[in-house]
Amino acid sequence: MSVFHRREFLNRSAILSAAALAGSNLNIAQAAEAATTKKGAANDRLRVAVVGVRGRGMAHINGYLGKNNCEIVAICDCDEAVIGNAMKKITGVQKEAPKYHKDIRQLLDDKDIDIVSIATPNHWHALAAAWAMRAGKDVYCEKPLTHNVHEGRLLVEATKKYGKILQTGTQSRSNPGMREAVQYLHDGKAGKVELAYGTCYKPRPSIGKVDGPQQPPATMDYNLWCGPAPVIQPHRKTKNGTVHYDWHWIWEYGNGDFGNQGVHEADKARWGLGQTGMPSTAVSVGGRLGYIDDGETANTQLCLYTYPDGRHVIFEVRGLKTEPYMTSKVGNIWFGTDGYVVCPSYAGGFAFDRDGKKVAEFKGGGDQYHFDNFVQAVRSRKPETLNCNAEEGHLSAAMCHLANISYRLGDKTTLDKADSVYAGCAPAVEALDRMRSHLKDNGVDVSKDPGMVGALLTLDPKTEKITKAGHADLAKANAMLFREYRKGFDITEAV
């Protein structure tokens, strides 16, 4: 066995015990031997580190493992309890254990790493991506690319400053079926498309309530998990424990289901509509309705965007039980003068003429297309070949953030008082009626149970600043385009 340093030894010990815990059949001695012996890697092998391996990070591992001459040389997670499955999977295929880092900063010092693939919670995305690019790595970063609007512009600048490739993890962008559907729209085959609709109808049950602050897992470096956000003791306890996954419903870390599932459909809505900038207005109405729990974000949300050319996106989140809208539960509909296109999945859908007759079908997809597209761009050094670069990731994430700012700055009142918000956009008025019926079906009394009637935000698409915030405080609205970063985790220092 070749000699290795103490830090390396500790590192490998943690890895191997985690792999053993995960029930690996791995011959640990052999794996350790292999892990410390550098393989004669081909010159064009790309060395990948995956950051955040509890859930989505496993799909990242699948995206590189044994594919496109990539090698996963490191994994990073600030909770050592979750790394077992990743270790087992990687070691099983590559026959040697990757390095394990608890702290992303150690990983970034490793000159051997070419790609950092980020699947942490949302509040870490932009900072981790900026740090990785500053350290000379190319980045695949999960959606939503950012936790707030301004982070997106900073990341776009960082890709230019550091000359790095960044793919945003909205993988529908690479699916052949979805690409064909969008091409159909862009070719004018549905006529002039004035309105895109996105539906995020995904049941999200209550996360329950706890009496007071909870302990983070003892296996976790909670300071690292919080990163740029303030260190606040978790106030939730679910099947995911006190910290993992349900951060989606807490503003400091997540962006609600709009910034979770919904950002995929917001991205496709904007893409199909051919919008390449910020909207000129955004407004959102909704609530966390039907239950009272420790979550903060809306489980019901209807959002309207008007773009500078007058065209609209309507986006709807429904976390309570619901029927689909025009066959779309998690999907999109684009309405054109000559017909409409419905894509009820990531992998495509159908085109219809004005009489509702099906005239085309689009199908085909899978996560791998998006990872392949990224790796090809990394090798070719041609960012223009990326299917979802930082600019696209930024603009789509911003749709969620703007809706959430409108919502949070709105009036707490019943949703039967929301009609005036959508005046001038008949499809949005009609969508509001449908949303209220949906709530009634779920036992919500829309004339008694308060929701939020959001502030109408007006934007300058060039400066990406809010110029009017309805009757809400403009300075407060603009402050919400960014966040306070904790010392040592400030993104502005990295860009």
The footprint of ligand NAD (CB under 6 A) covers 51-52, 54-57, 76-79, 82, 104, 119-122, 124, 142-143, 169, 171, 224-225, 227, 244-245, 260
- From the CB of residue 413, how many other CB atoms can be counted at a distance below 10 Å? 13
Cβ proximity to ligand NAD: between 32 and 294 the closer is: 294
Distance between CA atoms of 447 and 323, rounded to whole angstroms? 22
Tell me how far, at minimum, the Cβ of 245 lies from ligand NAD, in Å. 4
Cβ proximity to ligand NAD: between 57 and 383 the closer is: 57
Cβ proximity to ligand NAD: between 121 and 336 the closer is: 121
Give residue number: closest CB to ligand NAD: 55
Q: Say which residues have a Cβ less than 8 Å from residue 425's Cβ, sequence separation at least 6.
A: 304, 306, 312, 314
Tell me how far, at minimum, the Cβ of 51 lies from ligand NAD, in Å. 5
DSSP structural state of residue 110: -
Tell me how far, at minimum, the Cβ of 95 lies from ligand NAD, in Å. 25
Tell me how far, at minimum, the Cβ of 160 lies from ligand NAD, in Å. 24
Cβ proximity to ligand NAD: between 110 and 194 the closer is: 110
Tell me how far, at minimum, the Cβ of 119 lies from ligand NAD, in Å. 5
Nearest to 216 by CA among 207, 226, 206: 226
Distance between CA atoms of 132 and 462, rounded to whole angstroms? 28
Tell me how far, at minimum, the Cβ of 142 lies from ligand NAD, in Å. 4
Cβ proximity to ligand NAD: between 6 and 239 the closer is: 239
Cβ proximity to ligand NAD: between 399 and 409 the closer is: 399
Tell me how far, at minimum, the Cβ of 106 lies from ligand NAD, in Å. 10
E strands along 108-221, which residues?
Answer: 115-118, 138-141, 166-168, 193-201
Distance between CA atoms of 202 and 179, rounded to whole angstroms? 24
Cβ proximity to ligand NAD: between 182 and 224 the closer is: 224
Long-range contacts of residues 154-158, Cβ cutoff 8 Å, at least 24 apart: 154/126, 154/130, 154/491, 154/492, 154/495, 155/126, 155/129, 155/130, 155/390, 155/393, 155/394, 155/495, 156/390, 156/391, 156/394, 157/495, 158/129, 158/130, 158/133, 158/134, 158/390, 158/494, 158/495
Q: How many residues does the chain have?
A: 495
